[in-house]
Structures are given as structure tokens and as C-alpha cells.
Structure 1
Amino acid sequence: MKRTALAISSALALACAPFVHAGEPAAPAAPAARPALKLPQAEVERLLEAYAMIKQNYVGATDDRTLFDGALSGMLAALDAHSRYLDKDAMRDVGRENSGQYVGIGIEVEGNRDQLRVVAATEGSPAERAGIRAGDVIVAVDNAPVAGMSNDDVARRMHGVPGTVVAIGVARRNKIETLRITRADLHNDTVHVRMAAPGLAWIRVAEFGGATAADLVAALKKLDGKDAPRGLILDLRNDPGGLVSSAVAVAGAFLRPSTVLFSARGREPGANATVTVDARYYRAPGQPDVLAGLPAWTRTVPLTVLVNGASASAAELVTGALQDQHRATVIGTRTFGKGSIQSVIPLNEDSGIKFTVARYFTPNGHEIQARGVTPDIVAAPAAAADDDMLLREADLARHLPATQPPDAGADAQREPSESTRTFGTRADKALQTAVAILTPEDKRTPTLAGLLRRWRSAALAGTAGGSVVATGAP
């Protein structure tokens, strides 16, 4: 399993390090000296008193590590929705995301109404060889029902040691089939390319992992040649985000060097920085420049970006940068609104803490946190009677409030959750709108021409909120 609802951002190591010395190349950060803090004596004594009472009177045996892990977990959870204590398993997840490699069976899944549905099985993976295909519903892992289980827990049950076997229960034709699948070392395929129409490449980025930028560059180079695409559709729908460094590199594939991507603002002035298309913000020490050798057309070819309410974090950084720099037309619905950066700090060999250190702002100063990015053209999915309404950052308990007022009409409409099963189908209004925009005028149908005329007229008139509703998509 590759995709989780919450992608862990290893921002300190790969994105925040350059913030400390913005005028110098990135280098491994030295361990920060602990500031002299005056401990709140009464609160510390209260914690120790509770610990002593539990040790002496709890009905069962107690473990010191478990108790203090719980205390740390509660401390981080009290901060905001994205700060958390990282145990050994969670720290291992951070490593997997950074490397782009993992041990598993090779499937991408998404959850909806207590169902875990397969989005795709990687070509040649153990899952594909075992017969798992898109649309299958996974109900159990090693005989443990997945209903009510978090995505992280399901992923960890599927991960393991290469060569070991995991039993996957799949619901098919009103019965459950159990498939025994051998785990293997795999590459996290987060970039998928198809042709949406003649000359139009549709590039879907499922999440921003350690290998995403390299995979995108490889895909763009593969598209190069005498028949290079006349337009690109970058699909960031249902992308939960991930590594900031990966987002910088992905945006840099479409923008010229030194272009401003976003700014980060922390509590202290020294934590503020402006991030540009520069290798020090996406290249790890000792690694080659992943953007070297890109075809020149990637930074000039007409571009659209597809987003929805599940496009979050790193996906929003890329979207905001491409929109504010007038590089792309953004189509879809307002994004999730996770505009904060988390740093991961190891405490020892098998634990760490992740906490929020800054907020993100687009090049034009638009705050992403609890607001999201508003598309240029609104193309909302059709709602079915049983669809769940989509929750956004502002709906989460303990979310950081926005520091800027909301856009006019930002909360006027709530869209349903959007399944990847509709992507690429006739019901995919956002994709069809993108194809219409990128299609030459002499090849458009009357309906497409009418759509674009309305969009252009509204854009010239300066519509409220800066967006246009696409009601005439084919």
C-alpha cells in the first residue's frame, strides 16, 4: 500500500534547512542547541504525581515507555491537527516516503464509507500477478477486518519483510476471496501518464514522495521528440501532499529558474523565507539536480492543473505557484486548505516528534491554511444521493485558523468526495474542461467554443472571486 490519507512531511531535512541560510547552498543541519527553558514546576510535578499514582494503583502491569510515549503523544496532539508523536512505525513511514522505496504488494487504495477500494495495481507487482485489479474492495489483511482501521494501520500490515506472505481478503461477487501475496521490494509509483486527447498529455501525481520529481522528469523526457505534446494536464486531484522538496521540484519542471514558488512564515522572523525554483530547495546534499536536462518546452507548453477538495499540502503549493505565476489555468474545486509545514525531529533511534513550524503563502501572498486555493474555472463533480460531503482543513478539530479573511463565497458550496474511479470517464467534468481549453479553436465543437467564450468574457470582466463555473463542459 502506497497512499495514505495524511502524507508525512519531512520538511526540516529537505526543505527547511535552506531557510536558515537562504543565501547559501543547503547543507545538513547541525543539531540545534536546546534553548534554556524555565520549566513550569507545578505542571511537571502534576505529571509526575499522575505517573506515580498510575504505577502504584493501576489494575494491570504498566510499562514506563508506554506511559511516557502516551504523554508525548498527548502533548503533540494538543497543538494542532497535524502535530503528532512518531513511534517506531511512524518513523519508518517517514523513511519510506523520503526514499520512494518500500516493501509491500504494489497497490494504491482510497477509503470511502469504511471501504478500502483499489485504485490501481502497479504493473508487474505482486498484487497484479495475484489478480488484484482496480475497483476491488479490500476487506481484510491477514484475517483482520480493515473496517474502522486507519490507513496507516492497514499499510503497516501490508508492509513487511521481502519474501514473506500477506493474506488479502477481497470482496467479489458477494463473496470474499483470500489471496496470498508475497511481499517484494517496490518503487513507489506516484506519477501516471496517459494521453487525454491527441497531443494532450494527462499527468496524474498521486502524492509527493521521494521519487516523484525524478519520475515526473522521466515521463516528460519520454514525451519529448518531434511529437512532443501541445498541451499538458497536471492532475493533482485526491493528492494528499507529501514532501515539500518534491513539490518544489515538480513546480520547477514547469517554471523558469528563480521563479518564486511560495513563502513560509513562522513565529520568529528568522523562520520566514521565500522559496524559489532553485536546486538548494529540492536537491539533497550529494545528489544530482533532478531537473537537469529537461526539454525546454516543459516550461512554455500550455498547462492546466486539476484540483479538488482532497488536493492538499504540497499539491496546494504547486497549484498556488503555477496559478499566481500565470503559468497554468487551474480547474476543479477549492482545495483542502492544509497550508502549514511540519518539521520531523528524531528524539532517539526509533521515535520522534512532528510539529507545525510555519504557514504557507502563495507568491501573491494568498494564505493557504484553512482557506485553500480557489480554481480559475470551477468544475465540480456531480453529486450522487449517497455521496459523503468532503471535509476540509477548516473542519478538522484543532486546526490552525487562517490569519486572513476568507474569500468571498468560499464556503457557499460543499462538494462531495470525489473517487478516482470517475477520473478519465465521460463524467470527469474537470478533465473534459481542460481538454476543451487546450484544444485549438479550429478543432473545437460548438459546445467547447461556447464554454471558452464564456470563460474568456468572464475573465476579462473580472468575475467575483476570480473563478468561472464551467457549466458547459462536454
Structure 2
Amino acid sequence: MTSTTKHLMQRRHGWQRAAAAALAAGATLLIAGMPAQAEDTPPTRGAAEPPAATVQTLSAPLALPQAEVEKLLSAYALIKRNYVGQADDNKLFDGAIAGMLASLDAHSQYLNKDDMRELDRTNTGRYVGVGIEVEVDRDRMRVVSSAEDSPAERAGIAAGDILVAIDGKAIAGLSNTEVARRMHGAPGSVVALGVARGNRLRTLRLTRAALNNATVRVSMAAPGLAWIRVAEFGGATGAELAAALKKLDAAKEAPRGLILDLRNDPGGLVSAGVAVAGAFLEPGTELFSARGQVAGANATVTVDQRYYQEPGEADVLAGLPAWTRSVPLTVLVNGASASAAELVAGALQDQRRATVVGTQTFGKGSIQSVIPLGPDSGIKFTVARYFTPKGREIQAQGVTPDIVVAPKAGAQDDLLLRESDLANHLPASTGASAAPTAVGHNPVESTRMFGTRDDKALQAAVALLAPQTRSTPTLAGLLRKWGEELKPGNAGGAP
């Protein structure tokens, strides 16, 4: 044992007592209460906190594992004494913290100064880049989504693609934040991305653009049927949806049916999800329950302003027309609908407010909390799983649609992984995670296909909501005629 190691060992008891005292004095364990940093999407989107909980602190000193602390200090001492170069203390301890978080699950991570800045940027939705969200999966940088009408989407980059290089340089081993930094740049500048899909590798040249995308878009899918597309759940999503619904109400005739499209929606802020679901449900209706290890992480969340609005701010859902909570509603989902999107779909389905159409969702039903460690760093880790009003667990399982409608056969048969396919994913609490995705079972869907003649799910939603005509009976009309209940899988997918 080196002299440095001995010296560190002699100081260990004093350091352990100091650390325990600091924790007992009020170190934050959970940052609770919506909506601050209330996000539940994959790593580059930030983190989610358990709604309706109070700030939790340790009321008694934390017993540190003596043997493990000694092992850590020994490793530090050996590196400082024997490493061939200069070992920076900040990098060493940042790495140690990052290793602890990475050992937990696929969505827990250490956030350095750049990560914290990136978290704020993605939550506001304002930046210059190409519009890609990525996460690390089995040492690969997997595309989670491409923002609608972004340079990435126009180039054909889709969820499930693997990003392998930026400007000719391999990105293996880089962090999400470093990858994002390399994709950012001045508006009008060009970045070359190496993108793999299946066995095919392409190099795409994309022109960076200022991105401040609206998250809600509305058009008419058919006369009287409004198609509301929610691309992701950001800080302004609730207000954007409310404005869109009020604009529809100001039209000559209010819609007689709504299609809420959550396909390829990677999730986002939990508070935004609460606001979106709340626009279609009566106040006080249960949306989901969060269940964690400590009391502060357990809550039942309802349609209530405190769960989607900062204290003192005006209620974004105030003044909505009454028909938004009663008009027939269909929700579209697919294998890339994740996190907050699944929360909304599950709540509307369990409350029998909407018929869910599409394919099995991604299966990210966990909530992360971001806790600052200092002025410019923090940690993000999973604090709770969430369950639908009927107690169904979403984590590693997903939401099963009422009517399964698969994409057009052969449109794009590349494999899109789900939560249960991710390395080190958090298993369902029951242990009954969804089976690994079979090749061809979960095809990638491009948002550029949505709304075209090949969009079978949207066509099915229109059929459900359209009134029965004398010449062409719709599926909804036939179901009314036969008096049948909608059952999972009772409408066919692609032939």
C-alpha cells in the first residue's frame, strides 16, 4: 500500500462522518412537485420527477459501505500515484459518479455542466442543429426521434437508426451531450452524418437550421374530423394544444371528432402530458399513479392545475370549450410512442375516453428526477414507475391498442427496438417484461408518411369517427350496428 493510500485510509473515518453529516443536514434525495424538471423521456430529453411529492431529505445519517469506500479511495490513490499522465481530480470523481449512475438503468446518468445546459435547451426547444434526439444503447448511438420538418427528418433519418459518425469522425464512446454539441453549429452550416440502418451505411449532408418547432399541429383529416399531431411534450405543449382547440371552436362548426396522434412521440415533460390529457378529461379525473421506494415518490396524479402549471401562472386549460371533454376521440400510437405519450394514451384508454389505435407502444414507464450536485452539475436517476388508472404497468411493457393497425407492409421493415430491448433496462416490477422485439414485428414509421394514402392508422381513425353513410358503412357504424365492444386486435393491420 502506498503512503498516499495509507494517508487516505487514515482520513477515511473523518470523511465518512462529514459526508453522513451533510446528508443528515438536508441533502436532497428527490426533487418533487411538478412541473420543474418533470421529464420522463430518454437521456437527451432531461429527467422526470415524481409529481405531487414533497422534497425528501435524509432524516438520519447514511451508513456508507466501509469496504466499498476503501476500495474507491484505494483506486483513486493508485491512479494518482502511478498513472502515466496527469490525472485530473474532477474527471476522476465525475467518472466515478457517472459509473454509479450508469450501473442503475438505461435512463440514469451523471449530468456535467454541458449536460445541464443541453437539458435546458431541449426542454425549451430552441436551438440550432439538425433536429435529432439520440441515446446510448449497447455502446451505439441510437436515434430516438427526428423533429418534424427538421433537416434530419427531411433527410429521412428515423427512430431506430444508428448514428456512427459526425463529419467523418467516429462517435463511438462519446456522450450524448458531446454528440449533440458536434451536431450544433451556425445556421446554414453543413454537417455530415454517418447513419446506419440495418446493413446499410449512408453519409448524409445536412444543413443546420434554427429550430424552435411547435409541438402541436392541427389539420382536418376529413370534414368535421380534426387531426391533432403532438410531436413531443415540451414546456409550451399544453398552451399550444389549448390554443389549437380554441381555434377549432371558433370555426363555423366545432369538430364532431378528434384524432390525437402520438405516433413517433418520444415523450417529454410529465407536466405537459398531464395538460394534454387534462384537455380531454374532466377535472379531478385520475391520470396515473407513481410508485417508488420512498413516500415522496408515490402519488396519484389527477387533472389538476397544480400538476401541469407553475404556481402563480394562469391555467393554460382555462376557457376550453366544453366539447373537448365529450367529443368522440381516437388516439394513434406506435412503437416509437414513449414515456409521456404512453402516459396520455394509457389514461385516456383506461378512463374510456378514447379508442387507442395503432401498434404496441415503446414501454418506458419510469420517471427520472434531476438533482443538482452543485452550481453546474447534477444527477438524474429513476425514482418511480408509473401505472395507468386501472393499475397497468407501462414500464418494459407498453400500452396495447384497442385496435391494432400495423403500418403498410413493406414500407420500411427495419427493426425498431423497444424499452425491453435496451441494455440494462429497468424491468417491470412484476418481472413480466415484454418479449424482445422480433425482426419485422415493429417496423420503423417515418412521420413523412403520416397523413398520406399509405397511413392505415389514420384511415382507421377516420373510419371509427366518421358517421355511417348509406353507401359505405364505416367500421364505427358496423360496430354500432352489431353492438360489439372494441377488443384488442379486432381490426386488422397490414395485409
- Same fold per TM (> 0.5)? yes
Q: 1:242-281 to 2 correspondence within 5 Å?
A: 242-281=268-307
> Which residue is 1:89 aligned to?
114
Q: Which of 56, 66, 71 matches 2:96?
A: 71
Deviating 4+ runs (over 4 angstroms): 4-7, 105-119, 136-142, 144-154, 175-181, 405-413, 454-459
Measure how far apart 1:187 and its partner are: 3.0
Matched, 1:19 2:53: yes
Residues 455 and 168 (structure 1 numbering): CA distance in 2 closer, same or farther, change over 3 Å? farther
Matched, 1:220 2:220: no
> Which residue is 1:157 aligned to?
182
Aligned counterparts of 1:402 and 1:307: Cα–Cα separation in 2: 21
Matched, 1:357 2:383: yes
Measure how far apart 1:418 and its partner are: 2.1
- The answer to whether the 8 Å contact 2:125/2:234 transfers is no
Q: 1:39-58 to 2 correspondence within 5 Å?
A: 39-58=64-83
- The answer to whether the 8 Å contact 1:188/1:211 transfers is no
Matched, 1:167 2:190: yes
2:443 aligned counterpart, secondary structure? coil
- The answer to whether the 8 Å contact 1:319/1:330 transfers is yes
> Which residue is 1:198 aligned to?
223
Q: 1:15-414 to 2 correspondence within 5 Å?
A: 16=51, 18-20=52-54, 29=55, 32=57, 35-98=60-123, 100-105=124-129, 107=131, 120-121=148-149, 134-135=154-155, 143-144=167-168, 152-159=177-184, 166-169=189-192, 184=210, 187-225=212-250, 226-384=252-410, 387-404=413-430, 406=432, 414=441
Residues 84 and 105 (structure 1 numbering): CA distance in 2 closer, same or farther, change over 3 Å? closer
Matched, 1:439 2:463: no
Q: How many residues align?
A: 438
Aligned counterparts of 1:388 and 1:334: Cα–Cα separation in 2: 16
Residues 444 and 80 (structure 1 numbering): CA distance in 2 closer, same or farther, change over 3 Å? farther
2:442 aligned counterpart, secondary structure? coil
Measure how far apart 1:439 and its partner are: 0.7
Aligned counterparts of 1:103 and 1:165: Cα–Cα separation in 2: 13
Aligned counterparts of 1:398 and 1:105: Cα–Cα separation in 2: 30
1:441 aligned counterpart, secondary structure? coil
Residues 117 and 310 (structure 1 numbering): CA distance in 2 closer, same or farther, change over 3 Å? closer
Measure how far apart 1:85 and its partner are: 0.8
- The answer to whether the 8 Å contact 1:240/1:313 transfers is yes
- The answer to whether the 8 Å contact 2:43/2:108 transfers is no
1:221 aligned counterpart, secondary structure? helix
Aligned counterparts of 1:373 and 1:223: Cα–Cα separation in 2: 29
Aligned counterparts of 1:142 and 1:81: Cα–Cα separation in 2: 24
> Which residue is 1:468 aligned to?
489
Residues 205 and 43 (structure 1 numbering): CA distance in 2 closer, same or farther, change over 3 Å? same
Measure how far apart 1:176 and its partner are: 8.0
Measure how far apart 1:286 and its partner are: 2.8
Deviations 1:120-171 (A, max 9, x none): 436xxxx7xxxx98246699998455876776544333446xx776433489
Deviations 1:365-387 (A, max 9, x none): 11111111110000011343973
- The answer to whether the 8 Å contact 2:133/2:143 transfers is no
Letter in 1 for 2:48: A
2:246 aligned counterpart, secondary structure? helix
Aligned counterparts of 1:443 and 1:355: Cα–Cα separation in 2: 56
> Which residue is 1:25 aligned to?
none
- The answer to whether the 8 Å contact 2:417/2:442 transfers is no
> Which residue is 1:24 aligned to?
none
Which blocks of at least 5 consecutive residues in structure 1 are unaligned? 21-28
Letter in 2 for 1:207: E
Aligned counterparts of 1:224 and 1:147: Cα–Cα separation in 2: 49
TM-score (norm. length: structure 1): 0.81
2:284 aligned counterpart, secondary structure? coil
Letter in 1 for 2:280: F
Deviations 1:252-311 (A, max 9, x none): 011110000001111134532110000011111232211111122111111110111111
- The answer to whether the 8 Å contact 1:76/1:85 transfers is yes
Of stretches 341-350 and 186-195 in structure 1, the one that deviates more from structure 2 is: 186-195
- The answer to whether the 8 Å contact 2:360/2:399 transfers is yes
> Which residue is 2:444 aligned to?
417
1:121 aligned counterpart, secondary structure? coil
In angstroms, what is the RMSD of aligned CA positions? 3.7
Aligned counterparts of 1:297 and 1:282: Cα–Cα separation in 2: 21
Which blocks of at least 5 consecutive residues in structure 2 are unaligned? 1-40, 195-201
